[in-house]
Structure 1
Amino acid sequence: MNFWLFFVLAVIVAHFILDVVVARLNLKALSPRLPDEFADIYDPEDYRRSQHYTRVTTRFGLLQNSISTTVTVIFLVAGGFNSIDHLARSWVDGPIVTGLVFTALLILLSFLLGLPFSIYSTFAIEARFGFNRTSPLTFFTDICKGLLVALIIGGPLLALLLWFFETGGELAWLYCWLGVVVFGIVLQFLAPVVIMPLFNKFTPLADGPLKERILAYVRQQLFNIGGIYTMDGSKRSTKLNAFFTGFGRFRKIVFFDTLLDKLDDNEIVAVLAHEMGHFKQRHIWKMMALSALQTGLLFFLLSLILENHGLFAAFRMDHVSIYASLVFFAFLYAPLNTLLGIGTNYISRRHEFSADRFAAKSTGRAESLAHALKRLSRENLSNLTPHPVAVAISYSHPPVVQRLEALRNLAMTVLPRR
Structure 2
Amino acid sequence: MSELRRRAWLCREGWYYLGVLAFIVGGAVLRGVNLLVVLAGMLIAPLLLNWRLVMASLRGLEYRRRAPSRVAAGIPVSIDIEVANHRRYLSSRLLLIEDSIIAKRPLPGERPVRPSAMLAEVPPLQVSTGSYRITIPRRGRYILGPLRLSTRFPLGLVKSTMSIDMPHELLVTPHLGRLLPQWQQVLLTASHGDQERHPQQGTSEGDYYGLRPWQSGDSRRWIHWRTTAKVGVLTVRQFERRRSQDVAIVLDPYLPANPTLDDLARLELAISLVATMVADLALRGHARLLLSLASSKPQTFVGSSSQLTAGEVHDALAELAPSENPPLAEAIAELSKSDSTIRGALLVISTRDYDSTSTNIALQQPLHTGIDRARWICISDPQLKNWFTLD
- Name the structure with the higher helix share: 1
The answer to whether TM tops 0.5 is no
Question: Of the two, which has the highest radius of gyration?
Answer: 2
